[in-house]
Amino acid sequence: MLNIKKIIGSIVVGVTLGVGAYGYMYLSKPEITEANSKSPYINSIAELKEEPIIGLKMFEANNNYGYLSGTIVKTGEVENSITEIVIAQPDRFHVKFFPDSNDKKVFIEAVNDGKIVQIKEENGEITESTPLPTQNIMELQSLKESSKDNNEVRLNLNGTFLPIGNVNEMLHPEMYVQSVFRRGDMNTLGEEKYLERDVTLIEIVNAQLKIGNRQVFWIDNKTGIVLKTVLYDDDAEVQSQYFESVEFN
């Protein structure tokens, strides 16, 4: 049985420390000097924002839709799971997470009614927590510094950061921008259709990925939501995460 309290604890620790892709402090690319030439960031936020799909869509994803429902599938060597989500902006969601895609009888469920997040474990035990706000303490502490530098990533969680499912980066794509997109070489591959929606394909290489050596993103042109992402080791697919179905209203 999955221990939800441990999961919540991990999330809280990640939020508190502001580490990695789930950090909540702004990240800015330093000026390259001898003192900081070891910076892991090769792309500045200002440069990334010049790409319309990033600057106008991925950074503004929460503002680009009011309602979203869909099913996200994750496949790979480590995890094969399913996450069913319904989101109503700004601060309501219902999510069901199936850790094993082959066993739909075992799942964890979470609901945000705008005031409280309730998580129901597979054994029926319910825990409660407070929704993560749009602006957090660390962001408030960084306001003075951010006023000096507009080259930053500030996450707009909007009460829709999901405590289960491991799909937040797809729903809050600025997380990908502040991590993978800043660390790798970016190539725009063009546009195509996915789930009958217009998407832009962006490839990131040389980003020091934990799995594989390049990652491709299918980004919804209207909302900026990541509808699909695949990790490759050269040409071999090693992990994928994708909407099997999606509906916006």
The 10s digit of each residue's pLDDT in 181-203 is 999 999 999 999 999 999 999 99
Tokens of 34: 């001898």
Sign, CA torsion 6/7/11/14:
positive
- 246, exposed or middle or buried, with CB in 10 Å at 0-12, 13-18, 19+? buried
Average pLDDT (87-107) is 95
More confident residue, 208 or 113: 113
Residue pLDDT, tens place only, 112-158: 999 999 999 989 999 998 887 655 445 545 544 544 445 667 777 88
- Count Cα neighbours of 64 within 13 Å in the Cβ-side half-sphere: 21
φ/ψ of residue 222, rounded to 5: -85, -35
Contact status, residue 209 vs residue 231, Cβ threshold 8 Å: yes
- pTM for this prediction: 0.79
Q: How far apart are CA 26 and CA 190, in angstroms?
A: 29
Q: Which CATH number fits domain 45-140+153-248: 1.10.357.10, 3.40.50.150, 2.50.20.10, 1.20.1080.10?
A: 2.50.20.10
Tokens of 73: 């599938």
Q: How far apart are CA 52 and CA 32, in angstroms?
A: 26
